[in-house]
Amino acid sequence: MTEPSVWQKRIAGEWHGRPSLFDHNGTWCGFEEIRRSSDFVDGVTTYKMDGGLIGGGPLAGQFRLGAPFSFGVVDSDANRVYTGPDFFGTGQPYGSFVDSHYYGPGWQVDLNTWNQVLPDGETQVYSSVLYQGWAVVGCFNGLYTRTPSRVDELIEAETRNGPVPYILPTKQAGAFTGELELWGADQKLRGTVSASIALEPIDLLRTRRTVSWQGAGLDRVFTAETRRDGNRLFFEGPQAWGNAIGFGRASFQSLHFTDVWKVKAREFSIDAAPGMSAGRQLAVVYELFHGGNLDSVLHGLLEWRS
């Protein structure tokens, strides 16, 4: 390959962040100071990650390393293959979002990493759910920027906001709305979807949630009463059933409809901050499955309207 892939061009440069580390229960444990870059030179792509763990509690011994990460990538907009020595696996881009599954020998965990570049092109929503076999052992997540003038501001904000739990408005009715991109499992753009997550609070722990997706051949509206128990969320019908767990501002969801469709999702509250309030920007990714087969990926940024 003489030219980098579209995804590789999208993430060129050095990205800075301070993602938070959570244990399997969603308890905040510390930060990882990270500088991440990927270079395409003479047809070869190499990733480098430099930084270090701050805190970590009982997980510190597993996730603190004494040297930077470095690994090769077979660059492609179809399948990106991570060739080691520090990560082995693959990733699939869907426009400005990539879903990666790989193994990290240094951390001794399997990872499912979701990287979503927001419409500004300079902000990245990152999460890595960490597995031992099929069991979750932790999660890293947070925001990154590659704009030098924004680095100090972002690091300061991530230090303040990283441990904040995902909690949507509990007393004010309104909706998160916006235009999302729909990508097929074949990694081709199907079009734009008008999306809405309408919230009607019932009490401090229960909310009636109505989700609408309209456009690009996707036509679905469903309502579910949601119940929050700590950082866990339960979707209790009548048109969607499932649950979710929050690792800080990110909620990882599994939803089952009353037909053959189901959804694996991440909703990330971009600007949630300490205090008795909720954020106004929600970065969303929904992987839609027809039975056991991935059909499409829906992603983008939603804004709160009361």
Residues 249-258 have pLDDT tens digits of 999 999 999 9
Task: Give the pLDDT mean for 228-241.
Answer: 98
**Cα angle 252, 255, 259; round to 5:** 160
Instruction: Specify the pLDDT at position 1.
Output: 56
Element (H, E) at 8: helix 6-10
Percent of the chain with pLDDT over 90: 84
Cis peptide before 238 (omega within 30 of 0): yes
Domain boundaries, the chain: 6-162, 174-305
pLDDT of 139 higher than 60: yes
Instruction: Specify the pLDDT at position 212.
Output: 98
pLDDT of 25 higher than 70: yes
Instruction: Specify the pLDDT at position 250.
Output: 98
| CA separation for the pair 165, 257 (Å, rounded) | 26
Instruction: Specify the pLDDT at position 182.
Output: 98
HEC letters along 35-102: EEEEEEECCEEEEEEEEEEEECHHHHHHHCCCCCEEEEEECCCCCEEEEEECCEEEEEEECCEEEEEE
Residue 160, CA distances (Å) to 19, 37, 266, 273 in order? 11, 24, 21, 7
| 184 contacts 289 by C-beta, under 8 angstroms | no
Task: Give the pLDDT mean for 168-195.
Answer: 97
| 188 contacts 172 by C-beta, under 8 angstroms | no
CATH class entry, domain 174-305: mainly beta
Q: Both tokens of residue 122?
A: 């300079």
DSSP string, the chain: --S--HHHHHT-EEEEE--EEEETT--EEEEEEEEEEEEEETTEEEEEEEEEEEE-GGGHHHH--SS-EEEEEE--SS-EEEEEES-EEEEEEETTEEEEEEEETTTTEEEEEEEEE-TTSSEEEEEEEEEETTEEEEEEEEEEE--GGGHHHHHHHHHHHTT------SS--EEEEEEEEEEETTS-EEEEEEEEEEEEE-SSSEEEEEEEEEETTEEEEEEEEEEEETTEEEEEEESEEEEEEEETTEEEEEEEESSSEEEEEEEEETT--SSS---SEEEEEEEEEETTEEEEEEEEEEEEE-
Q: Both tokens of residue 54?
A: 């701050």
Instruction: Specify the pLDDT at position 179.
Output: 98
Residues 262-276 have pLDDT tens digits of 999 999 999 999 999
pTM: 0.96
| CA separation for the pair 49, 69 (Å, rounded) | 5
Task: Give the pLDDT mean for 292-299.
Answer: 98
CATH topology of domain 6-162: Lipocalin (2.40.128)
Task: Give the pLDDT mean for 184-202.
Answer: 98
| 126 contacts 142 by C-beta, under 8 angstroms | yes
Task: Give the pLDDT mean for 285-291.
Answer: 98
Instruction: Specify the pLDDT at position 51.
Output: 84
